[in-house]
Amino acid sequence: MTIRKLWVGLATAAALGLSACATTDAAAPPAQAETAPVLRTQYGPEVGSREGESDTVNVFRGIRYAASTEGRRFQRAADPQPWSQPLAATEFGSECPQRPSPDVPVFASWANTVGTSEDCLFLNVWTRGLGDGKKRPIMVWLHGGGYVTGSGSSNGYDGSRLAERGDVVVVTLNHRLNALGYSYLGGLTDDPKYADSGNLGSLDIVRALEWVRDHAQAIGGDAGNVTIFGESGGAAKVSTLMAMEDARGLFQRAIAQSGSMSLTGFTPRVGTPLAKDLMTTAGVSRIEELAAMPIDDLIAAMMKSRSRGAYYRPVVDGRSLTRQPYSPDANPVSADIPLLVGTNNNEMRLQGGLGNPGNFALTWEQLPVKLKAFTGDADVDEVIAGMRAAHPDYDPSDVFFQVATFRNYRGTALLQAERKSQQSAPVYMYRLDWKTSVEGGRLETPHALDIAFVFDNVARSTSYTGPETDETQRMAALMADAWIAFARTGDPNTPALPQWPTYDLQNRATMLFDLDPKVVNDPDGEERELLQRLLPEGRGL
């Protein structure tokens, strides 16, 4: 996803006169400290706030889980310096430096911005209990934006309602992105401090999960019941973590929403030339020069380089990532981790539609040229003929968006479910079919629409879901409760849903989320068989 405003969501960096980014002793705690919740981390105390409909949710924003990476660019994160005086944890921490992206009106209600900084390793917590002995499921959200943009602090990711609804602990976080988090320098130097540079963003997430494990009791959660979940690039990060030995034992369940694109990572053969090209574009010959150059200059060079600031992903470096996550099969590292995976029905009506409105009114004559970008070496005429046979009611734009959706999202989600189903842990498949009314209804069920429902945040998402109504609240109840159930037990079944079987190659049972949810075996099976036969596995992020 290349649209920053979907993923960016940070407020101002200071609160109540205290720096949310401070690493040393701070000034006196805020005036309401006597009533505000206090979280005592292993590094020092944090003072948060109480939110939710009845002020029953303890909220801590901008908690440092690792030291600033300033001065340590392209190196593993270090422990924070401890502090003794309470810090205000009422404002989000900085987001990772990243390339700018245009505003997108449908994401207006999620927008929430603050400055960027290499001091960006912060997380946020929503919980109804602090050290009360109750072991709540912990749900750790990984933000979207591919591996290049975004933050964990969008209004759409606010965890208050989810924490209150299911009595779960919700955690969101920031980590290093783009060249800062995924430049593979191991092929250009023998210096051990840069050996893990190709996977630093994912290793940052591992660090955050270690913080969650170490503070589970303090935040009222269960270290033995942690779910990682994410959408788009966040789902890709979930898939990558399922292949990382360093992450083993740090989570027990996984949810991948519209982002099963990291079935494979880069190899050093791909990562090394990209890193070398970045250095050439930046006009430096030594990694130390790249590590020391002003951050604005580095981001500018990244955007001019071959990657254009968007071509990054984890690297199978033989260290933190020793083999591909889902190729040629599901990685055995997470064989015992239940997986919930799925997509929205019309994902590409967002990027392929709003990004190029002419695609909403294609003719049959225009369609072959438009589709070629998604069909690659396949016979585009055969793809069109097969889609018209499978969907006689489709117009050219419908065919375009559905093929593009399969190519970018559904195809890899199906492949992930198929390969995961061969392991011991269960896998559940879903598809969101409910259609939004915004943009005159032409978006139907686009990419990222599910976020509003999973977080029970339709009131914070009206620019995308339309006005808050009984319908939108029902969709939130259906999806949020299923996600909570899965986090609690590894099974998403709830009383409001028809019986939801696990996914297998024989039946391909899929929950279709709409006002009247239903389970369908192999929905749009003719389309699936056609496109799985003709199209490659998926082009990823």
Q: Is the CB of residue 529 less than 8 Å from the CB of residue 403?
A: no
Residue 528 vs residues 138, 508, 517: alpha-carbon distances, Å? 35, 11, 21
Write out the two tokens for 24. Answer: 């040393």
CA distance 455 to 137: 15
pLDDT in tens, 396-436: 999 999 999 999 999 999 999 999 999 999 999 999 999 99
Q: Residue 10: is its pLDDT beyond 50?
A: no
Tell whether omega for the bond before 97 is within 30 degrees of 0, i.e. cis.
no
CA distance 215 to 211: 6
Q: Which amino acid is at 518?
A: K
540 SS3 class = coil
Q: How far is CA 517 from the centre of its chain?
A: 25
Average pLDDT estimate for 167-194: 97
Q: Is the CB of residue 287 less than 8 Å from the CB of residue 203?
A: no
Helix (H) or strand (E) holding 529: helix 525-534
CA distance 407 to 272: 27
368 SS3 class = helix
pLDDT in tens, 221-266: 999 999 999 999 999 999 999 999 999 999 999 999 999 876 889 9
CB burial class (10 A; 0-12, 13-18, 19+) of residue 286? exposed
Higher pLDDT, 284 or 114: 284
List the one residue out of 118, 127, 147 whose CA is nearest residue 205.
Answer: 147
Task: Find the angle CA(275)-CA(280)-CA(283) to the nearest 5 degrees.
Answer: 130
Question: pTM for the complete prediction?
Answer: 0.93
Write out the two tokens for 319. Answer: 């260290």
List the one residue out of 510, 539, 499, 490 whose CA is nearest residue 418.
Answer: 510
Q: What is the DSSP letter of 501?
A: P
pLDDT in tens, 311-360: 899 999 999 999 999 999 999 999 999 999 999 999 999 999 998 999 99
Average pLDDT estimate for 193-219: 98
Task: Find the angle CA(6)-CA(9)-CA(14) to the nearest 5 degrees.
Answer: 165
Residue 279 vs residues 96, 285, 303, 328: alpha-carbon distances, Å? 20, 7, 12, 33
What are the strands of the beta sheet with 87-88, ordered from one edge? 38-40, 45-47, 87-88
Q: Residue 53: is its pLDDT beyond 80?
A: yes
Q: Which residue has 């598809």 as its token pair?
A: 431
CA distance 299 to 180: 9
CA distance 505 to 44: 50
Average pLDDT estimate for 209-223: 98
CA distance 527 to 383: 10
Cβ-proximal residues to 8 (8 Å cutoff; 6+ apart), any chain:
95, 111, 112, 113, 145, 149, 150, 151, 153, 154
Q: Which residue has 């020069």 as its token pair?
A: 289
